[in-house]
Protein backbone atom coordinates (compact mmCIF):
# COMPACT_ATOMS: atom_id res chain seq x y z
CA UNK A 1 0.00 0.00 0.00
CA UNK A 2 1.12 3.51 -0.67
CA UNK A 3 1.88 6.18 1.88
CA UNK A 4 -1.10 8.42 2.53
CA UNK A 5 -1.54 11.72 4.32
CA UNK A 6 -3.91 11.92 7.27
CA UNK A 7 -6.02 15.12 7.15
CA UNK A 8 -5.37 17.34 10.17
CA UNK A 9 -9.07 17.29 11.06
CA UNK A 10 -8.73 13.50 11.58
CA UNK A 11 -5.46 13.44 13.59
CA UNK A 12 -7.01 13.10 17.05
CA UNK A 13 -9.26 10.15 16.17
CA UNK A 14 -6.77 8.54 13.79
CA UNK A 15 -3.95 8.58 16.35
CA UNK A 16 -6.26 7.30 19.09
CA UNK A 17 -7.35 4.39 16.86
CA UNK A 18 -3.70 3.80 15.86
CA UNK A 19 -2.79 3.56 19.56
CA UNK A 20 -5.42 0.87 20.14
CA UNK A 21 -4.22 -1.23 17.20
CA UNK A 22 -0.47 -0.95 17.84
CA UNK A 23 -0.12 -1.03 21.63
CA UNK A 24 2.95 -3.11 22.52
CA UNK A 25 4.67 -2.76 19.13
CA UNK A 26 8.36 -1.84 19.32
CA UNK A 27 8.98 1.76 18.27
CA UNK A 28 12.07 3.42 16.84
CA UNK A 29 12.02 7.22 16.56
CA UNK A 30 14.33 8.88 14.06
CA UNK A 31 14.56 12.67 13.91
CA UNK A 32 15.74 14.08 10.58
CA UNK A 33 17.02 17.53 9.73
CA UNK A 34 18.17 17.98 6.11
CA UNK A 35 21.07 20.11 7.41
CA UNK A 36 22.56 17.32 9.57
CA UNK A 37 22.69 13.57 10.06
CA UNK A 38 19.56 11.72 11.26
CA UNK A 39 19.37 11.06 15.01
CA UNK A 40 17.88 7.91 16.52
CA UNK A 41 16.04 9.21 19.60
CA UNK A 42 14.63 5.86 20.69
CA UNK A 43 15.13 2.30 19.51
CA UNK A 44 12.74 -0.61 20.11
CA UNK A 45 10.76 0.65 23.09
CA UNK A 46 7.25 -0.75 23.59
CA UNK A 47 4.52 1.55 22.27
CA UNK A 48 1.83 2.73 24.70
CA UNK A 49 0.04 5.57 22.88
CA UNK A 50 0.19 8.54 20.53
CA UNK A 51 -2.07 11.57 20.68
CA UNK A 52 -2.63 15.03 19.25
CA UNK A 53 -3.42 18.15 21.28
CA UNK A 54 -4.37 21.07 19.02
CA UNK A 55 -3.87 23.57 21.85
CA UNK A 56 -0.47 22.29 23.04
CA UNK A 57 2.89 23.98 22.41
CA UNK A 58 1.51 27.51 22.83
CA UNK A 59 -1.36 26.92 20.41
CA UNK A 60 0.79 25.42 17.62
CA UNK A 61 -0.36 21.89 18.50
CA UNK A 62 1.66 18.93 19.70
CA UNK A 63 1.85 15.20 19.01
CA UNK A 64 3.03 13.12 21.97
CA UNK A 65 4.13 9.50 22.06
CA UNK A 66 4.20 7.52 25.27
CA UNK A 67 6.59 4.57 25.28
CA UNK A 68 6.96 1.87 27.90
CA UNK A 69 10.06 0.75 29.71
CA UNK A 70 12.16 -2.33 29.07
CA UNK A 71 14.40 -4.12 31.54
CA UNK A 72 13.13 -2.28 34.62
CA UNK A 73 13.87 1.17 33.18
CA UNK A 74 11.54 4.14 33.00
CA UNK A 75 9.11 4.89 30.20
CA UNK A 76 9.60 7.83 27.88
CA UNK A 77 7.50 10.58 26.33
CA UNK A 78 8.49 12.01 22.95
CA UNK A 79 6.91 15.32 21.91
CA UNK A 80 6.66 16.71 18.39
CA UNK A 81 5.67 20.40 18.59
CA UNK A 82 3.97 22.33 15.79
CA UNK A 83 3.06 19.32 13.61
CA UNK A 84 2.30 20.24 10.00
CA UNK A 85 1.50 16.87 8.38
CA UNK A 86 1.10 13.21 9.33
CA UNK A 87 1.68 10.42 6.82
CA UNK A 88 1.05 6.68 7.31
CA UNK A 89 2.86 3.93 5.43
CA UNK A 90 1.35 0.51 6.17
CA UNK A 91 3.64 -2.48 6.47
CA UNK A 92 3.53 -5.61 4.36
CA UNK A 93 0.39 -7.67 4.51
CA UNK A 94 -1.41 -10.45 2.70
CA UNK A 95 -2.85 -8.06 0.11
CA UNK A 96 0.15 -5.74 -0.06
CA UNK A 97 3.07 -5.48 -2.46
CA UNK A 98 5.11 -3.85 0.35
CA UNK A 99 8.11 -5.95 1.43
CA UNK A 100 8.92 -4.15 4.71
CA UNK A 101 6.72 -5.51 7.54
CA UNK A 102 7.17 -2.38 9.67
CA UNK A 103 4.62 0.43 9.70
CA UNK A 104 5.81 4.02 9.63
CA UNK A 105 4.24 7.29 10.71
CA UNK A 106 6.04 10.33 9.33
CA UNK A 107 5.36 13.62 11.08
CA UNK A 108 6.60 16.89 9.64
CA UNK A 109 6.93 19.78 12.05
CA UNK A 110 7.32 23.54 12.00
CA UNK A 111 9.93 23.13 14.76
CA UNK A 112 13.41 21.61 14.68
CA UNK A 113 13.97 18.87 13.67
CA UNK A 114 11.40 19.13 10.88
CA UNK A 115 10.91 15.41 10.12
CA UNK A 116 10.19 12.53 12.51
CA UNK A 117 9.98 8.88 11.42
CA UNK A 118 8.14 6.63 13.88
CA UNK A 119 8.69 2.98 12.94
CA UNK A 120 6.43 0.34 14.51
CA UNK A 121 7.61 -3.27 14.53
CA UNK A 122 5.35 -6.07 15.66
CA UNK A 123 7.08 -9.14 17.05
Q: Give the model's pLDDT for residue 99.
A: 52
Among 11, 30, 14, 12, smallest CA distance to 22 is for 14
Nearest in space to 117 (alpha carbons), one of 82, 80, 81, 92: 80
Give residue 94's pLDDT.
46
Whole-model pTM? 0.86
Residues 6+ apart with CB under 8 A from 75: 45, 48, 66, 67, 68, 69
Mean pLDDT, consecutive 10-residue stretches, the chain (123 aa), reads 89 97 95 93 94 88 90 84 95 55 92 94 82
Domains annotated for the chain, with CATH where assigned, are 4-121 (2.30.29)
Measured CA to CA, the distance from residue 19 to residue 70 in angstroms comes to: 19
- Looking at residue 100, its pLDDT comes to 62
Position 93 scores a pLDDT of 55
Q: What is the pLDDT at residue 74?
A: 77
Q: What is the largest CA-CA distance in the chain?
A: 43
Amino acid sequence: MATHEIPQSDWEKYLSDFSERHRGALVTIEDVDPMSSPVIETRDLPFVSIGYDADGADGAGIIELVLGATGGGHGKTHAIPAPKAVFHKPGAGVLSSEVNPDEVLEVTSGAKPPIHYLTFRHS
